[in-house]
Amino acid sequence: MRGPTEVPAELWETIARQVRERATCNDVAHDMLHVERVVGYAVVIARRERLAANDVANAALAALMHELFALPKNHPDRMTAGDTCARLAQDMLSAAGAGKLQAATICSAIAEHSFSKGAAPRTVVSQVLQDADRLDAIGAWGLARMWATCASLQRPFYDPADPLCEHRAADDSRWGLDHVFCKLLKIPERLHTNSAKALAADRIRYVRDHLEQMRRELADVRFDSSRPMIPE
């Protein structure tokens, strides 16, 4: 993965090499391919928002390092993962010769980016990273990541009595598909930049179409709204 022109090539490659090594330990929903997509989103958003070159660079570097440390979705300390990741990023940036102000900006964005932490971004770089990471949670690749996580946690795909949460509160600690209702459908309203909101529109439409297709397919194999049926 080549770095954006706003980042010195030597700094980018030094950091990227370490990120690739660490990413081999991550699950497929948070692997290097995810990191690359988030970097791409971050650069696109930052440029479309006409940010200064140093902000584009910092957003790209924050995206590159935002998965240095990850915990399973069901881990009780999940919301602290961003803080640990920020500390690791600080060490990498210092060793690579990044300035203190640049490192502080990047690490602050990383510490704040997690959806589970619920932190409000304090800088434009933090806004861009949050938006970029959340865009990769919706659309085709977002759903792929959701199902991968569902499988790794060994959760059933859906509640057979009410697959689409029509008569109950969503609970993604029990059912994989409930994650759409707990998180994914809420993402567009929680984005910060106009550029990310524009990109999200198509992706959330895809998620809704996916739900409707599931509804139609389940309707073909059910006696009624509460009893699932396996066709002969």
Q: Which residue in 54, 193, 71, 69 sits closest to 134, CA to CA?
A: 193
Q: Where are the domains of the chain?
A: 1-116, 137-232
Token couple for 220: 């073909």
Whether residue 81 is predicted with pLDDT greater than 60 in this model: the reply is yes
Please determine whether the domains at 1-116 and 137-232 fall in the same fold group of CATH: yes
Please state the separation of Cα 48 from the chain's center in Å. 20
| CATH hierarchy code of domain 137-232 | 1.10.3210.50
Report the C-alpha dihedral over residues 48, 49, 55, 57, rounded to 10 degrees.
Answer: -10
- State residue 184's pLDDT score: 97
Each residue of 46-59: pLDDT tens digit? 999 999 999 999 99
Residue 221 pLDDT class (50, 70, 90 cuts)? confident
Give the global pTM.
0.90
Q: Which residues, at least 6 apart from 31, have a Cβ–Cβ distance to it below 8 Å?
A: 23, 67
Task: Report the CATH superfamily, name and number, of domain 1-116.
Answer: Hypothetical protein af1432 (1.10.3210.10)
Each residue of 92-122: pLDDT tens digit? 999 999 999 999 999 999 998 776 666 788 8
Whether residue 231 is predicted with pLDDT greater than 50 in this model: the reply is no
- 75-96 average pLDDT score: 85
Count of positions (residues) in the chain: 232
